[in-house]
Every structure is written in C-alpha cells, then in structure tokens.
Structure 1
Amino acid sequence: MFGLCLGVAGSIWAQMPAEQITLSWTHTIEKIRWAEDYRILPNGFILEQARVKGSGAGMEIPADAVLKNGSWHYQPKLPVLPMLKLGRTPEAGDYRLCVSSANTEQQCHPMSFWVGEPTAAQPSIELWACDMQD
C-alpha cells in the first residue's frame, strides 16, 4: 500500500496511509485562502482540483474556473508531480493537510500536527508517495 511521506531529502519525518490529500493555506500577501486536491500514485501526485477565494498578486484565476460556494474551482493540467516541495516559515503561517484513504476517515490538521512548527532553520518540507510496507 502506498501512502504519504513528509520530510526533507528522503529523510522521513512522518508517514501515513493516504490515497488523497488536500493542501490548503492562506496567501501571505493577499490573505486569500487557496486549496489543492491531489491523488497519490506510486510515482507521485496528480493535482485533480484547485480552489481559490479570489485573485491577487500571483493568483490569477484561470479562464475555465467556475465560481462555486465563494471559491473559484478549476482543474490544472499538469503531469504527475514526483514530489511536492513546500516553503514553510514561521512568518508565512502553516499549511493545513487533509489525508484520506479507503480504510480511514479524512483527517485534517495543520502540517505542524505531523512534523512540528515551521522554523527559519528548516524553511521547507517535501511530500512524496511512499510504500507503507517499509
């Protein structure tokens, strides 16, 4: 079974069974909420849907986006992403990570729940698909 690993440079800080994840955060300048839904594959992540509450600096809403429940929903056209590298500093706030699989209910927590608070000494974290049988 594949799951989600979190860490840096292949060093696992946390891992959990997951087939899908949602990452959400608040844009540091515009203070607008953003969310992305990913499906986990053995070779990486497929970004299935993204949502943003509004536009602003670096947050252009795609032409095919649809406004639903106060957020713009769209489906980015990206290849499989082998890894997600997230910037994470105390000043920017934390990500919210939701994980779900066929065998577990969705769990949503700040990223710090799994890997501790963001620090200036470690300003990023990596997410990748991993074999949970290891």
Structure 2
Amino acid sequence: MIGLCLGLAGVVWAELPVPAFTLAWTHSIEKVRWEEDYRVTAEGLLLGEARVKGSGAGMEIPADAVLHAGSWHYRRQLPPLQPLRVGRTPEAGDYQLCFDGACHELSEWLGPPRADRPALELWSCAPATPGA
C-alpha cells in the first residue's frame, strides 16, 4: 500500500497510510487560509483542486479561478510531486493535514515547527512493515 511520508532528504520522520489528503495553512502575513488537495500515487503526489479565501502578498488568484462558497477554487496542471517541499518555521505557524474528515496539525507527528528544521518534504512511499 502506498502512503504518505513526512521528513527531509529521504529520512522519514513520520508515515501515514492515507490515499489522499488536504494540505492546509494560514498565510503568515495575510492570515488567509489556503488548501491544496493531493492524491498519493506511486509516481508522487498529484495536486487536484486548490482553494484560497483571498489574495494578498505573494498569493495571486489564478485567472481561471472560480469564487464558490467564499473561496477561490482552481486547478494547476503539474506533474506528480516527489517530493513536495514546504517551509516550516515557528514564525509562520504550522500546516494541517486533513483526511478522513478531520484536520491535524503536523505537530501531532513531528512536534512543533523548529528554526533548525525550516523545511519539510512530503512524498509517496510504501509504509514500513512492523517487525521487518
């Protein structure tokens, strides 16, 4: 089974057996929520729909975005991301992973964001077999 690995430079810090997830965060300056839906595949993470509640510094709304239920919805055509690299610092706050109807701070698996670990990578992986 393919799952989601969290870590850096190929070192796994946490593994989640999820086929899909939403990566969500609040923009550190504009205080606007951003969400991206991903499917976990053997080739990497496939970005589906993305949503943002508004525009601002460094967050331009794509021209083809549609306003629906208070958020701009759009799709980007990207190849599978393997890995998806994100910044994660105490100043910017934490990301959330949403799956199975609930959102969880990354700190549940990784501890709080740390200045000495300013980046995180997410990639598709085969979860380790217990006792292997």
User: In which range does the TM-score fall when normalised by the shorter chain?
Assistant: over 0.9
Q: Within the alignment, does 1:125 sit opposite 2:88 as a pair? A: no
Figure out how many residues of one structure are paired with residues of the other and give that number: 129
What's the offset of the Cα at 1:80? 1.2
Correspondence 1:38-117 to 2 at 5 A: 38-99=38-99, 105-117=100-112
Please list the CA deviations of residues 60-119 of structure 1 after superposition, one character each: whole Å capped at 9, or x if unmatched. 1111111111000001111111111110011100001113xxxxx344200101111000
1:102 match? none
TM-score scaled by length of structure 2: 0.92
TM-score scaled by length of structure 1: 0.91
User: What is the identity, as a one-letter code, of the residue corresponding to 1:119?
Assistant: R
Alignment partners' CA distance in 2, 1:21 and 1:56: 25
SS in 1 for 2:6: strand
Alignment partners' CA distance in 2, 1:64 and 1:75: 8
Give me the CA root mean square deviation.
1.2
Please list the CA deviations of residues 6-47 of structure 1 after superposition, one character each: whole Å capped at 9, or x if unmatched. 011111111011110101111111111100001111121111
Alignment partners' CA distance in 2, 1:82 and 1:125: 12
Alignment partners' CA distance in 1, 2:17 and 2:101: 11
